[in-house]
């Protein structure tokens, strides 16, 4: 892939001086069109060999355009906080909102390539990480992002010459480190690994652009024109909505599913409830304080039909936990800031570090539930979300998280009884809204969506716990029991 970037591309200074002002004007116009439309974000990945002009190009982009609307992030080694979370956490936090440009100087490609060259990872592990990157970029594009990937290349001789030139000048010597020379000694290995990475991840949604970096004028004008072309094309031609490539889930021919076959008759006496609750809360308290939790985190997800008892169940769990240890995140309709990012962005922000827990009162599953039923997103969006959610939870687990998911299920008759009770009791009336009554009319559609969700996202890493919750005491105890068992297996 690098042959055409090793032939000595050059551009005369006169031509550069003639073309640069026109390019800058066009880039600024495109940037302000992007800002005004605010339809999509632009993510620029800047990667390549050491000394090929990556930093200079980043500086030029900020000089040529309005830097107030550019988010520039340079990624080095992971910090302590980043090492306690999934690898992609720090990149999600750096994603720009719609209408803005984000420059990622060093990106999700850097560590996989470095680890493979240094033989810290096998070829299979490297390919697995590349597959995860493809999925990540495909999801960002499907969510509307424009990804511009720039790879700056130098031949071996050109890189050696460039590093020597930089080292010889006082003003630039700081830019060449011992690590750069160490990498240069393994140039051939780096190029081989990089070539494989680019080949495997240059897709129709997010292709790589390889630029020879030996000549400042050629490199700068080429990078600027590539960005301008991508921006202008996307501004003129809105992205087509995603189309589902797999068949829609079909209900079983006997109409039975995990909800309508649940045993809703289970109950606990007051005495049994009090005894079991105390016992399980004590066990949970000890488990969350276990020394092994210092290297793990806990992510709890609570979903269920309206009035299923999520809030009261969460309160029984948190009573057994140190308040400094957990954070509850109630999920409602997304804010303007959240709508300006991919739908998973607002959940990545709350991923806890080791030794802590987060409790989601509703979650990312809204994409395949309420957004599906209410048609807030296209069919292709919620269909691809099953895979994206499974991938998200796999990344949580790989980062040390214990993922516990609970669906609190109630029957339609029990929901109606609770709705009427809430409407009668003054201090509970805030819990019942017109939206709840409207959603109830769509019970069959929601039930089918829930059944599909459980079938497609209950995995070995993050299985669903379906809790029949017509009897609140039984449901609370059963949820605590399942949570304790999940922690015991993990620790």
For the chain, the structural domain boundaries read: 3-236, 270-490
For residues 484 and 487, give the distance between their C-alpha atoms in angstroms, rounded to a whole number: 5
For residues 339 and 319, give the distance between their C-alpha atoms in angstroms, rounded to a whole number: 33
Query: What's the pLDDT at 253?
Result: 86
Query: What's the pLDDT at 27?
Result: 98
Query: What's the pLDDT at 241?
Result: 67
The DSSP secondary-structure symbol of 291 reads: G
pTM > 0.75 = yes
Under a CB-based contact definition with an 8 Å cutoff, are residues 446 and 373 in contact? yes
Looking only at the bridges linking them, the beta strands covering 101-105 and 70-74 are: parallel
Query: What's the pLDDT at 119?
Result: 83
Query: What's the pLDDT at 118?
Result: 87
For the chain, the farthest-separated pair of C-alpha atoms sits apart, in whole angstroms, at 89
Q: What is the CATH number of domain 3-236?
A: 3.40.50.300
Query: What's the pLDDT at 427?
Result: 77
Q: Which CATH number fits domain 270-490: 3.40.50.300, 3.20.20.140, 3.30.1640.10, 3.90.1200.10?
A: 3.40.50.300
Query: What's the pLDDT at 281?
Result: 98
Fold agreement between 3-236 and 270-490: yes
Kindly give the parts of the chain with pLDDT less than 50.
none
Query: What's the pLDDT at 430?
Result: 81
Query: What's the pLDDT at 244?
Result: 65
Q: What is the pLDDT of residues 284-317, one digit of tens each?
A: 999 999 999 999 999 999 999 999 999 999 999 9
The sign of the CA dihedral 220, 221, 226, 230 is positive
């Amino acid at each position: 892939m690098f042959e055409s970037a090793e032939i000595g591309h050059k551009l005369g200074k006169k031509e550069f001086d003639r073309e640069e002002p026109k390019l800058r004007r066009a880039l600024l116009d495109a940037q302000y069109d992007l800002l005004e439309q605010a339809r999509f974000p632009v993510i620029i990945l800047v990667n390549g060999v050491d000394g090929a002009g990556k930093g200079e190009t980043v500086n030029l982009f900020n000089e040529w355009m309005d830097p107030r609307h550019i988010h520039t992030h340079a990624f080095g080694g992971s910090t302590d906080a980043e090492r306690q979370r999934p690898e992609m956490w720090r990149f999600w936090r750096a994603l720009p909102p719609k209408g803005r440009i984000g420059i990622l100087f060093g990106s999700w490609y850097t560590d996989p390539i470095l680890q493979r060259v240094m033989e810290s990872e096998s070829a299979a592990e490297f390919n697995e990480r590349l597959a995860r990157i493809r999925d990540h970029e495909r999801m960002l594009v499907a969510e509307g992002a424009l990804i511009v990937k720039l790879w700056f290349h130098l031949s071996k001789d050109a890189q050696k010459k460039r590093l020597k030139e930089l080292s010889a000048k006082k003003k630039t010597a700081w830019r060449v480190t011992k690590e750069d020379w160490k990498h240069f000694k393994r140039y051939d290995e780096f190029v081989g690994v990089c070539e494989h990475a680019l080949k495997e991840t240059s897709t129709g949604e997010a292709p790589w652009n390889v630029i020879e970096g030996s000549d400042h004028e050629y490199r700068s004008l080429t990078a600027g024109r590539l960005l301008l072309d991508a921006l202008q094309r996307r501004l003129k031609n809105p992205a087509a909505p995603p189309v589902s490539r797999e068949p829609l889930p079909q209900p079983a021919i006997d109409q039975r599913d995990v909800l309508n076959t649940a045993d809703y008759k289970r109950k606990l006496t007051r005495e049994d409830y009090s005894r079991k609750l105390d016992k399980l809360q004590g066990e949970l308290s000890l488990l969350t304080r276990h020394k092994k939790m210092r290297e793990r985190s806990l992510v709890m997800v609570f979903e269920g039909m309206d009035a299923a008892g999520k809030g009261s169940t969460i309160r029984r769990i948190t009573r057994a936990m140190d308040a400094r240890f957990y954070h509850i995140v109630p999920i409602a309709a997304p804010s303007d800031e959240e709508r300006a990012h991919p739908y998973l962005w607002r959940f990545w922000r709350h991923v806890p570090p080791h030794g802590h827990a987060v409790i989601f009162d509703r979650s990312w599953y809204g994409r395949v539930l309420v957004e599906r039923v209410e048609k807030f997103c296209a069919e292709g969006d919620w269909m691809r979300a099953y895979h994206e959610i499974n991938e998200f939870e796999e990344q949580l687990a790989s980062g040390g998280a214990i993922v516990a998911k609970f669906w609190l299920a109630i029957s339609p008759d029990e929901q109606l009884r609770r709705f009427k009770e809430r409407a009668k009791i003054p201090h509970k009336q805030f819990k019942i809204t017109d939206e709840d009554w409207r959603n109830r009319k769509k019970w069959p559609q929601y039930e089918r969506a829930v059944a599909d969700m459980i079938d497609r996202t209950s995995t070995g890493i993050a299985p669903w716990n379906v809790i029949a919750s017509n009897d609140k005491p039984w449901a609370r105890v059963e949820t605590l029991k399942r949570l304790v068992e999940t922690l015991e297996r993990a620790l």
